[in-house]
Amino acid sequence: MSEKPSHAVIVGGSSGIGLATARNLLGQGMNVTITGRSQEKLERARQSLSGNVAIAAFDATEPANVRAFFETLGAFDHLVLAASGGKGLGPFETLDLADLNSGVDEKVRPQLSCLQAALPSLNKSGSVTFISAVSAQLSAPGVAGIAAVNGMLLTVVPILAMELKPLRVNVVAPGVIDTPWWDFLPSEQRQRIFADYAGKTPVGRIGRAEYVASAIAFLVSNGFMKGQVLTCDGGLRFAA
Ligand X SMILES: NC(=O)c1ccc[n+]([C@@H]2O[C@H](COP(=O)([O-])OP(=O)(O)OC[C@H]3O[C@@H](n4cnc5c(N)ncnc54)[C@H](OP(=O)(O)O)[C@@H]3O)[C@@H](O)[C@H]2O)c1
Task: Name residues contacting ligand X, limited to 140-199 (CB under 6 A).
Answer: 174, 176-177, 179-181
Taking the complex as a whole, the smallest distance from the CB of residue 17 to ligand X amounts, in Å, to 4
Q: Which is nearer to ligand X, 162 or 199 (CB)?
A: 199
Q: Please identify, among the stretches 70-78, 81-89, 188-196, 216-224, the one whose residues bind ligand X according to the rule CB under 6 A.
A: 81-89
Pick from 121, 18, 114, 97: nearest CA to 59: 114
Instruction: Give CA–CA dist 42/89, Å, rounded.
Output: 28
| 3-state class (DSSP) for residue 208 | coil
Does residue 133 bind ligand X (CB under 6 A)? Answer: yes
Choose which of 7, 9, 18, 69 interacts with ligand X (CB under 6 A): 18
Cis preceding-peptide flag for 202 (omega within 30 of 0): no
Q: Please identify, among the stretches 37-45, 94-102, 154-162, 185-193, the one whose residues bind ligand X according to the rule CB under 6 A.
A: 37-45
Q: Phi and psi for 224 in degrees, rounded to 5?
A: -110, 5
Instruction: Give CA–CA dist 235/204, Å, rounded.
Output: 10
Binding site for ligand X (CB under 6 A): 12-18, 35-38, 41, 59-61, 82-84, 107, 110, 131, 133, 174, 176-177, 179-181
